[in-house]
Amino acid sequence: MALFVQKDTLASYMKVVQPEAGKGSVASYIPALQQADPDAFGCAVHQGKEKAEAGDTGIRFTLQSVAKVISLALALMDRGREEVFSRVGMEPSGNPFHSIQALEKEKPAKPLNPMINAGALVVADMLQEKRPDTAADRFVGLIQQITANPDVDICAETAVSERNHSNLNRALCYFLKSHNVLENEVEEVLNTYINLCSVKVNSCDLARIGSVLGADGRDPETGEYLIPSWTAEMVTTFMVTCGMYDASGSFAINAGIPCKSGVSGALLGSLPDGTGIGVYSPPLDSHGNSAAGTRLLERLSSDFQLSIFSGR
Ligand code: GLN
């Protein structure tokens, strides 16, 4: 199957949307992220062995919230659907990703979904419970397998930087702990969560993750299942309903691509025909999503009818 776009066309779309980056700002609440080059822009599109890559696809950046997709997959593989969703919900949140507001309303406390910080902290707790090997090692191992890139690893500098500026996530953890939602200690859960967010990849790695998720969890070369198909289906569904936080609704209308964003400026897109899209552009819009990256996906989707709702 031919890719929907080739390198030169992709580069021309990137040129058109690049000015959007100027309207956003690079995340500063984690100081290490502030060092990112606001003009960096890379996009990779993979489908099986077919690849189109343009711009700064070699630049490495941390997953940040894109990690929530893979940590959910791992928790589902470890514990099964019933247990995971007894502790974290399935509903979109109209609030920002670090909001504590909705948690206060639920009795007993249950984060609305695994794509917001409160939900991902509970997922991190589930990953580390009673396992002899560390959750972060298993997480990195799975990403290395999916990306076929043994160099993927945790960026210690970003992890330390986030740990020193994590009072909001720490507050979420204490709230969860006080309602007996966390089984492990607050600092342990926070450390696990931060380590997962600090895994470093490039846009090509992201495209490969999207490609595997879109191909029912199968390795593009060998066809071997890296993630069970029911898990891939579930996490890509969350990417549609919750992946772009409180902009998930408008992004579903404007692009219709299952997608997950991270505050590093990362975007992971995944289509059911096994096309994966990885974008990196650090300046963020007011929802915490890459400004130019979001616009790029919207433009590509509308011109190449990529929406999963388009009935192609
Ligand atoms: N590590 C970041 C945080 O917890 C991830 C947030 C994001 O990418 N939206 O704040």
pLDDT per residue of the chain (312 residues) written in tens, 0 to 9: 689 999 999 999 999 999 999 999 999 999 999 999 999 999 999 998 899 999 999 999 999 999 999 999 999 999 999 999 999 999 998 787 888 777 877 777 899 999 999 999 999 999 986 565 689 999 999 999 999 999 999 999 999 999 999 999 999 999 999 999 999 999 999 999 999 999 999 999 999 999 999 999 999 889 999 999 999 999 999 999 999 989 999 999 999 999 999 999 999 999 999 999 999 999 999 999 999 999 999 999 999 999 999 975
Q: Is 291 in the same domain as 169?
A: no
| Cβ(290) – ligand 1 distance below 6 Å | no
Give the distance (Å) from ligand 1 centre to CA of residue 226: 26
Give the distance (Å) from ligand 1 centre to CA of residue 171: 14
Q: Is 71 in the same domain as 43?
A: no
User: Per the annotation, does 29 bind a ligand?
Assistant: no
Q: Is 158 in the same domain as 207?
A: no
Look at ligand 1, atom 6, and give the residue with the nearest C-alpha.
65
**153-154 and 61-62: which strand pairing?**
unpaired
Q: What is the CATH number of the domain that holds 299?
A: 3.40.710.10
Active site residue 245: yes
Active site residue 199: no
Structural domain for 81, as ranges: 65-88+96-197
Q: Is 105 in the same domain as 192?
A: yes
Give the distance (Å) from ligand 1 centre to CA of residue 60: 17
* CA-CA-CA-CA torsion sign (134, 136, 142, 145): negative
Q: What is the CATH number of the domain that holds 82?
A: 1.10.1500.10
Domain closes at, from 197, 228, 261: 197
| Cβ(285) – ligand 1 distance below 6 Å | no
| Cβ(162) – ligand 1 distance below 6 Å | yes
Q: Helix/strand/coil (H, E, C) string of the chain?
A: CCCCCCHHHHHHHHHHHHHHHHHCECCCCCHHHHHCCCCCCEEEEEECCEEEEEECCCCCEECHHHHHHHHHHHHHHHHHHHHHHHHCCCCCCCCCCCCCHHHHHCCCCCCCCCCCHHHHHHHHHHHHCCCCCCHHHHHHHHHHHHHCCCCCEECHHHHHHHHCCCHHHHHHHHHHHHCCCCCCCHHHHHHHHHHHHCEEECHHHHHHHHHHHHCCCECCCCCCECCCHHHHHHHHHHHHHHCCHHHHHHHHHHCCCCEEECCCCEEEEECCCCEEEEEECCCECCCCCEHHHHHHHHHHHHHHCCCCCCCC
Q: Is 114 in the same domain as 193?
A: yes
Report if residue 211 sits inside a domain: yes
Q: Is 234 in the same domain as 183?
A: no
Report if residue 259 sits inside a domain: yes
Q: Which residue type is seen at 176? A: L
Report if residue 310 sits inside a domain: no
Q: Is 80 in the same domain as 191?
A: yes
| Cβ(265) – ligand 1 distance below 6 Å | no
Report if residue 274 sits inside a domain: yes
User: Per the annotation, does 169 bind a ligand?
Assistant: yes
For residues 307 and 304, what is the distance between their CA atoms, to the nearest angstrom? 9
Catalytic entry in 65, 198, 248, 270: 65
State the total domains in the chain.
Answer: 2
| Cβ(61) – ligand 1 distance below 6 Å | no
Q: Is 72 in the same domain as 183?
A: yes
pTM over 0.80: yes
| Cβ(263) – ligand 1 distance below 6 Å | yes
Look at residues 215, 211, 243, 245 and name the one whose alpha carbon lies nearest to residue 229: 215
Task: Select from 97, 158, 189 the residue to mutate for testing ligand 1; criterion: most ligand atoms less than 8 Å from CB.
Answer: 97
- What pLDDT was estimated at residue 98? 81
Catalytic entry in 193, 201, 248, 270: 193
ipTM: 0.97
Q: Is 47 in the same domain as 123?
A: no
Domain closes at, from 197, 220, 254: 197
For residues 50 and 61, what is the distance between their CA atoms, to the nearest angstrom? 23
